[in-house]
C-alpha cells in the first residue's frame, strides 16, 4: 500500500508544474503531459517516490538521526514550521543564513547568544537594566529568534534535509552537498533533480500541495521515532491515471504562476 494516494495528490494540486517556458529539461521524465501551457507532473511516479522518501526519513530517524525542514517561500513557511514542530524536528522558514551548515560553529555562537538573552529575561536581569538597553536587547533577541528559532535546540549538523523548492533554497542544498548530507525535496518542473538525493516530483507553489507532502515527511519522522505505522493519507488507491479533467484548475494555476513571476 502506498503512503499517499493519487486522489489525495490530485486534490492537493500536486500535479501542477510550471509554465512550459519555465522548465528544466532534466525534469522531462517526471512530466506526464502539458495542458494550456502548464506541465502536468506524472503522479504515478510521485506516489512511488513519496514512498521511497518516506522510508528514507523513517529509517534515518529510527537510528536517532535528525531532520532539518527548510522552506522560506511564503507558501511553505507555515507548513514547514507547523509540521517540524509536530514531529519534534528543526526548521528554517525565514531566510537561510549562509553557513548555517558549512560554518555551523559561527551560527552556534549566535544561537548561544539567543539562549543567553532568554536566560537574562528569565533571571530578571532585564528589570534592572536601563530601558533603552532593554529595548535594544529585545530587538536583538527577536531578530535571532526569527532566523534561528527553528534550530536553537539543534545540537550539531542534521542527518538529512527536507526542502521545499530546492531552486529557491539552492544555498542550503549546496551546503548539504558539500557536507554529504542527504537531501529530500519537493522538486517542481523548473528545478534540477540532479542536486537532490530523494526527489518528490510535485508542485512547490501551492499551499495545499506543500502542506500535504510536508505532513507526509513529518509522519515519517513520527513513525521513525515511535516505530508505529502511521495512518495512510487519503482514500483507497485510485485505479488508473484518469485523463486529467481539471483543465479549469490548470487555468487558475496558470494565472497564479504568472502573478508569481511578476512579483519575482
Domain containing residue 39: CATH number: 3.40.50.10490
Mean pLDDT of 49-65: 97
The number of beta carbons lying within 10 Å of the beta carbon of residue 9 is: 25
Do 15 and 110 lie in one domain? The reply is no
Does the global pTM surpass 0.95? no
Q: Quick check: 231 pLDDT over 50?
A: no
Do 15 and 146 fall into the same domain?
A: no
The domain in which residue 29 lies consists of: 6-101+157-263
Instruction: For residues 82 and 179, state if they share a domain.
Output: yes
Provide the domain count of the chain.
2
* 61/122 same-domain check: no
Pairing state of beta strands 16-19 and 38-41?
antiparallel
Of 154-158, 184-188, 250-254, the poorest mean pLDDT is in 250-254
- In this structure, the answer to whether residues 89 and 111 fall within a common structural domain is no
**CB burial string 181-202: b at 16+ within 10 A, e below:** bbbbbbbbbbbebebbebbbbb
Domain boundary pick from 113, 128, 150: 150
C-alpha closest to that of 165 among 138, 139, 192: 192
Quick check: is 1 in a domain?
Answer: no
Q: Is 149 a residue whose pLDDT tops 50?
A: yes
Residues 21 and 78 in one domain: yes
User: Which CATH number goes with the domain that contains 129?
Assistant: 1.10.287
Q: Is residue 229 part of a domain?
A: yes
Q: In angstroms, rounded to a whole number, what is the distance separating the alpha carbons of residues 205 and 198?
A: 19
Q: Are residues 127 and 170 in the same domain?
A: no
Amino acid at each position: 500500500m502506498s503512503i499517499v494516494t493519487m486522489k489525495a495528490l490530485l486534490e492537493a494540486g500536486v500535479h501542477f508544474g510550471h509554465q512550459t517556458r519555465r522548465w528544466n529539461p532534466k525534469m522531462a521524465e517526471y512530466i506526464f503531459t502539458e495542458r494550456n501551457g502548464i506541465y502536468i507532473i506524472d503522479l504515478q511516479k510521485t506516489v512511488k517516490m513519496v514512498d521511497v522518501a518516506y522510508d528514507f526519513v523513517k529509517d534515518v530517524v529510527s537510528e536517532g538521526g535528525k531532520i532539518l525542514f527548510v522552506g522560506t517561500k511564503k507558501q511553505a513557511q507555515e507548513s514547514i514550521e507547523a509540521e517540524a514542530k509536530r514531529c519534534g524536528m528543526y526548521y528554517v522558514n525565514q531566510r537561510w543564513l549562509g553557513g548555517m551548515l558549512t560554518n555551523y560553529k559561527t551560527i552556534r555562537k549566535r544561537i548561544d547568544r539567543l539562549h543567553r538573552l532568554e536566560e537574562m529575561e528569565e533571571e530578571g536581569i532585564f528589570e534592572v537594566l536601563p530601558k533603552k538597553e532593554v529595548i535594544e536587547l529585545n530587538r536583538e533577541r527577536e531578530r535571532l529568534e526569527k532566523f534561528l528559532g527553528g534550530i536553537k535546540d539543534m545540537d550539531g549538523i542534521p542527518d538529512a534535509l527536507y526542502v521545499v523548492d530546492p531552486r529557491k533554497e539552492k544555498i542550503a542544498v549546496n551546503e548539504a552537498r558539500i557536507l554529504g548530507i542527504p537531501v529530500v525535496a519537493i522538486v517542481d518542473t523548473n528545478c534540477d533533480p540532479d542536486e537532490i538525493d530523494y526527489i518528490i516530483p510535485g508542485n512547490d507553489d501551492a499551499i495545499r500541495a506543500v502542506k500535504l507532502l510536508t505532513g507526509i515527511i513529518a509522519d515519517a519522522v513520527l513513525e521513525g521515532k515511535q516505530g508505529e505505522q502511521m495512518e495512510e493519507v487519503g482514500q483507497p488507491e485510485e485505479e488508473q491515471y484518469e485523463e486529467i479533467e481539471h483543465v479549469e484548475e490548470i487555468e487558475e494555476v496558470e494565472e497564479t504562476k504568472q502573478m508569481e513571476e511578476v512579483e519575482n
